[in-house]
Structure 1
Amino acid sequence: MFFSKTVASVAALAIGAQAAMPIASVEFQSWETCDVGAPAIGEPKFTDAVTATPVTCDKATVNRQWDIDNYSFKAHLDTKDALLCSGVTIWNNDDCSGRPVTFLPFEGGPVAQGQCLPDILDPGYVSFKLECFGGIGGPEGGP
């Protein structure tokens, strides 16, 4: 009986450990103007918020209004497990495929504010994936 309870406890711990998922909130920000290469500060014209994980590909629509000249990205680590993550990879499509447009690193903090980018995005979507270490996903950990 003791053995079966111990096995059940270990199995429950393993399931709980696998159920933990790193999660980050990502904002896709559209600007009328901001200094390219500088941190994007102030209030963006439009913001679209998505959730990023290492195993999903979430997307936001590229706002193509005539008064939008720049874009930026901001990310916030939402879960304790996300501390294993190095940043967010960003593509200019809806399926996280091909060559990424940019990478937004966390650089040791829970919030990353990206630099102001020129109007380089094609119409359609930008997609996001959280890049993590330790077997959770991303360039060093799997898919």
Structure 2
Amino acid sequence: MIAVAQRVREARVRVADRTVGEIGVGLLVLVCAERGDTEAQAERLLAKLLKLRIFADAAGKMNRSLQDVQGGLLLVSQFTLAADTSGGNRPSFTQAAAPDDGRRLYDYLVAIARTAHPQVATGEFAADMQVHLVNDGPVTIPLRIV
């Protein structure tokens, strides 16, 4: 799985002029399942997201996790993270999981996140979404879970 985690002061996702997911301080995570990905990778991704030490401690060092700061987690599916641009100027998305598999793994990630963390919001799978965020830092961390 591929993910891009962004430390945010606030973030929200809108679909057709309605807000479907919103958090204050926390992580906005764009998530892409690739062909062959499994539930075990989703579990490892969630574990990494919850413990990733990218929030400031009292000394201003990135030393606290999402769990430590009790922040929100906003999970947004984004198959375009699997883009391959090596063959020209039009991206290929052949490495992205098929839609049914992508939805299954995204739904699984959301479900396990909701059992492990008190504040989880989401986008809407396969929808045309507008993502609004205030990136804090900015801090943006790419993750690839194999």
Higher helix share: 2
Structure 1-normalised TM-score?
A: 0.33
Structure 2-normalised TM-score?
A: 0.33
> Larger relative CO (CA 8 A, sep 6+): 1 or 2?
2
Q: Bigger radius of gyration, 1 or 2?
A: 1
